[in-house]
Amino acid sequence: MESEAQIIRTEYSDLMKKSYIDYAMSVIISRALPDVRDGLKPVQRRTLYDMYELGIRYDRPYRKCARIVGDTMGKYHPHGDSSIYEALVVMAQDFKKGQILVDGHGNFGSIEGDGAAAMRYTEARLTKFTQEVCLSDLDKNVIDLCSNFDETEKEPVVLPVRVPNLLVNGAEGIAVGMATSIPTHNLGEVIDAVKAYMKNDAISTKQLMKYVKGPDFPTGGIVVNKDDLLNIYETGQGKIKIRGKVEVEELKGGKKQLVITEIPYTMIGTGIGKFLNDVAGLVESKKTTDIVDISNQSSKEGIRIVLELKRGADAENLKNMLYKKTRLEDTFGVNMLAVADGRPETLGLKRIIEHHVDFQFELATRKYTTLLAKEKEKSEVQEGLIKACDVIDLIIEILRGSKSVKDARACLVNGVTDNIKFKSSISKKMAAMLRFTERQATAILEMRLYRLIGLEIEALQREHEETLKNIARYEDILNNYDSMAGVIMEELDHYKKEYGRKRRTQIENAEEAVFEEKKIEEQDVVFLMDRFGYAKTVDVSVYERNREAADSENRYVVHCLNTGRLCLFTDTGKMHQIKVLDLPYGKFRDKGIPVDNVSNYSSSEEQIVMVCDSEQMRFAHLLFATAQGMIKRVEGTEFQVSKRTIAGTKLQEGDTLIDVKVVSENQNVVLRTRNGYFLRFPASDVPVKKKAAVGVRGIRLQKKDELEQVYLFEEGAETKVSFGEREVTLNRLKLAKRDGTGTKAR
């Protein structure tokens, strides 16, 4: 009989909450965060273990990375090949890791951001460091193994790493709701700190920092906030300020050049290209005129970025400018988050070392327990063989008189003589007294005759003595804290001597970089913008010399200060601001640059209806007019804002702004429609409104007509304008009131 399907009803929000928490914890524990014990994320651990299992050792040939990635994915890490290969590449990059864990052969990327070649082209093998420090003693039951994803293989829960790899190689990872960022450290300093903790577990973080001075980045550089480090290492969180190393080189003829030989760790990758662009930007924007040339001369030998300076340039001030205005001084955010005891935890320096030392004692205990058991087995066998040599004639008689191995074994272990023929009753009595262990009996039965040679017996006795010494040593290590600590420290000394190197990053307290910008000399300039939207500024004298050409060739001509701002009003009612300094200043025939490049204005979406100087607007009113005939006056002070783009006016649906003009009370306004209706009235009739207001009706439009042009003129001044083939004199138009229909031009 078939069982009925069971429907489990549950609250959808509860199900989502549980599922999301499960997913988050899976990402945190099984992907993004390293384990405090070995400092490795699961993908790194699995890749290294797979290489170990494949036998790709440091003293054997390289193997294709595609083989390593495929094997790791098939056996241990079923999450796609790109994540495995990226992890493999990072472990082989000496500019990212304090100690590389993989020896790469081929293109594994560069410090300047070039990516590694495809895995079908590159090869790799384990480094000697990884093999000795991270993967030794796996055969001595030092760590637990767990089933892989499909339970067909066994993989290590953690690797038996003998140094605090979390500190030496650092870590970066983004999980769900949390991230880790641990800087790299000097191997020798970290080992000294571990030894100091083992000698005195009450040691403070401040005392530990006598050994660990601070981060030691593979790219070198200078840490400039030494006083903040104690708090960072106590809490596991904070910000480290790092600078690149800049040297001043003297050239012939009294010239100098700045040479950057070390970069901040955060500049690895595209940061170098961005830095070069930033320096070029400083030159183009005339923040400095002292840099003549920039060149990146970096090679395999190291970083070398050269900035050639003008004769007499202030090199120190320029150095400070680079620190202040570019990423040559940057911040490394520290968040020492790792998986400890199965859960994520933010750890200080002492807590990381504490976890590491506990792990080392656990490894040592398991290692020497395994070795002791093996030595005791060996001792048991050796004792049996030595004892057998003393009664070898009797044993030979037992073997010759036995019908089967089973009978011989029973006699050797329990003295059973029933099924064995002896030459004499004395032999039988002596055989009945034999009491070898099962292991000893097996060794005797498998013993070769050459072991009966006198010298071999002596060698066996010496081996037994050595075995007894080992047993005593292992028991002492297991039963005595100081003995075990001594063994661990001895190993650490060996690793320091073998793999230690000098510190690369300097640690100091440096003063804040102070850069004195040269004050720009204020001067009058003329802004010119042609009908294609290309803009520039020229000197007033240049404009005066070319006035006729400038006025005819350009759509907008505005007198302004080089330190000021220009306001662009567009048909959509927006106002965009431009710094005059952002525009190129030079010759009259220079092309200029599109205003789109220096503002939020987009020529594909909106059209400029007016450009005016921000300073001139301060003391004036602006007259706004729209295609639907709406007008208003707005005080210029309303547009004195710091934002690059604001709403200049409010428009009705389907309406567009057609003109903005600076207006005064004593002027007359003339509105002209597309169909030729003219309406003249005093500017004082236009009410002053806020910029967010729609305004009032300026002219009553006929059907299918719209406002097309706005004119201003002073009373008494004859002003003529063209409309079609006719000429209209504005001051002869009848003075009317606002909101009339106007008169049609005849």
List residues with catalytic annotation. 121
Q: In sequence order, what are the residues at sequence separation of 6 or more whose Cβ sits closer than 8 angstroms to the Cβ of residue 731? A: 668, 713, 715, 716, 717, 718, 719
Report d(CA 394, CA 399) in Å as an integer.
Answer: 9
416 Rama class: left (phi>0) / alpha (psi -120 to 50) / beta: beta
Report d(CA 695, CA 697) in Å as an integer.
Answer: 7
Q: Which amino acid is at 315?
A: A
**Residue recorded with tokens 């590449």:** 89
CA distances for 579 relative to 270, 466, 566, 571, 597, angstroms: 29, 86, 7, 21, 12
* DSSP assignments along 649-692, one per residue: S---TT--EEEEEEE-TTEEEEEEETT-EEEEEEGGGSPB--TT
Long-range contacts, 187-190 (Cβ 8 Å, 24+): 187/98, 187/99, 187/163, 187/495, 187/496, 187/499, 187/500, 187/501, 188/496, 188/500, 188/501, 189/213, 189/216, 189/503, 190/163, 190/164
Report d(CA 19, CA 36) in Å as an integer.
Answer: 27
Long-range contacts, 344-348 (Cβ 8 Å, 24+): 344/28, 344/29, 344/33, 344/175, 344/178, 345/36, 346/235, 346/236, 346/237, 347/36, 347/236, 348/205, 348/233, 348/234, 348/235, 348/236
* DSSP assignments along 138-186, one per residue: GGGT-S-EEE-TTSSSEEESS---SS-HHHHS-EEEE-SS-EEEE----
Residue pair 91/46 in contact (Cβ under 8 Å)? The answer is no
Bridge partners, residue 124, by sequence: 63, 104
Give the count of beta carbons closer than 10 Å to the beta carbon of residue 202: 6
* Residue among 367, 59, 338 at smallest CA distance from 178: 338
Q: What are phi and psi of 420, to 5 degrees?
A: -120, 135
What DSSP character marks residue 310? -
Question: b or e along 370-392 (b: 16 or more beta carbons within 10 Å of the residue's beta carbon)?
Answer: bbbeebeebbbbbbbbeebbeee
CA distances for 354 relative to 187, 194, 195, 715, angstroms: 17, 8, 11, 90
Q: What are phi and psi of 308, to 5 degrees?
A: -80, 135
Distance separating the N- and C-terminal Cα atoms of the chain: 102
The 3-state secondary structure of 5-43, one letter per residue: CCCCCCCHHHHHHHHHHHHHHHHHHHHHCCECCCCCCHH
Long-range contacts, 511-519 (Cβ 8 Å, 24+): 513/319, 513/320, 513/323, 513/324, 513/329, 514/320, 514/324, 515/317, 515/320, 515/321, 515/323, 515/324, 515/325, 516/317, 517/287, 518/288
